[in-house]
């Protein structure tokens, strides 16, 4: 496929038909295709994108991750620093990936770098679902040995103060949950105090879980559990998308035989029509 054909195919969603050929062609012609995506990333905040450009950019982002285009990490972070509500441009672009795949995209593209993730977590403009994904990614860096505990501890201290100032119950709860799962018991007192001050909603994290810190932990991190992945297979992933599931075929309407006479007796099995007992 030529570049123009790849762009057209990846810009359009055809129900039941994942763009496998176009994705393979984009990867085969990566040096030509990459500038198309980087230009769209620049254009996103400057001018906004059409629906077709959104489709193309999202597939392009997935390919950036699969192809491990690490030099685009900072640009991707800049793209994600915004409102992630569904009706907002960024929410429309990222869709369900905000809660389902974004932490993996961050982790893979970061390639061990934590400063851009830290900037996103401390941002005053970034949506909380995106920051939640960044939390999972940066704790995964700690889990894999890419990030020293003392570095992450210093960040956690800042985040607890910031999220309390912002009255962000969701992110405080998410951070507390990670601290419990990773068994950082030194924070038990701080999290308990936040719960008692009503900064943590009981339905998301109960006081019992905080008090029974060690027992409540899952004893496996985001990487070990598979929540955050170390690599991405775009074709495999998109085949699971609802829009690309096979379109159910309507059964053909039987042609009516002009010589047939449809009656109630022809619709009932013979033994029933005659009043016979069904076998068994």
- Domain total for the chain? 2
Rounded to the nearest angstrom, the gap between the alpha carbon of residue 128 and the centroid of all alpha carbons in its chain is: 14
Query: Tell me: the pLDDT tens digits for 233-264?
Result: 999 998 888 878 877 776 666 665 555 544 43
- Distance CA(129)–CA(108), nearest Å, equals 18
Residue 167 pLDDT: 94
Answer yes or no: is 51 within a domain: yes
Which pLDDT value is given to residue 214? 72
| pTM to 2 decimal places | 0.85
Q: Is residue 150 located within the same domain as residue 260?
A: no
159 and 38 part of one domain: no
Domain assignment present for residue 73? The answer is no
Domain span at 252: 1-68+233-280
- The mean pLDDT value for 40-68 works out to 95
Question: What is the mean predicted confidence (pLDDT) over 49-68?
Answer: 97
Check whether residue 3 and residue 122 sit in a common domain. no
Mean pLDDT of the region 131-158:
98
**In what helix (H) or strand (E) does residue 237 lie, and over which residues does it extend?**
helix 234-238
* Domain finish residue from 230, 249, 268: 230
Cβ neighbourhood burial of 151 (10 Å; 0-12, 13-18, 19+): middle
């Amino acid at each position: 496929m030529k570049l123009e054909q790849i762009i057209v195919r990846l810009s359009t969603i055809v129900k039941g038909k994942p763009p496998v050929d176009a994705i393979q062609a984009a990867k085969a012609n990566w040096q030509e295709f990459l500038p198309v995506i980087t230009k769209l990333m620049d254009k996103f905040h400057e001018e906004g994108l059409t629906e077709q450009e959104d489709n193309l950019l999202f597939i392009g982002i997935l390919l950036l991750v699969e192809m491990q285009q690490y030099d685009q990490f900072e640009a991707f972070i800049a793209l994600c620093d915004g409102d992630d509500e569904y009706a907002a441009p960024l929410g429309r672009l990222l869709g369900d990936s905000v809660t389902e795949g974004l932490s993996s995209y961050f982790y893979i593209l970061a390639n061990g770098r934590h400063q851009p993730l830290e900037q996103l977590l401390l941002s005053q403009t970034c949506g909380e679902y995106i920051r939640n994904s960044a939390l999972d990614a940066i704790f995964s860096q700690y889990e894999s040995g890419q990030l020293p505990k003392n570095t992450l501890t210093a960040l956690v201290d800042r985040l607890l103060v910031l999220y309390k100032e912002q009255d962000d119950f969701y992110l405080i709860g998410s951070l507390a949950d990670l601290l419990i799962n990773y068994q950082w018991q030194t924070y038990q007192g701080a999290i308990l105090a936040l719960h008692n001050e009503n900064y943590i909603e009981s339905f998301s994290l109960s006081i019992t879980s905080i008090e029974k810190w060690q027992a409540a932990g899952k004893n496996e991190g985001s990487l070990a559990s598979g929540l955050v992945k170390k690599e991405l297979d775009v074709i495999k992933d998109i085949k699971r998308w609802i829009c690309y599931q096979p379109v159910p075929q309507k059964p053909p309407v039987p042609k009516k035989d002009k010589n047939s006479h449809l009656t109630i007796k022809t619709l009932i099995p013979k033994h029933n029509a005659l009043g016979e007992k069904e076998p068994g």
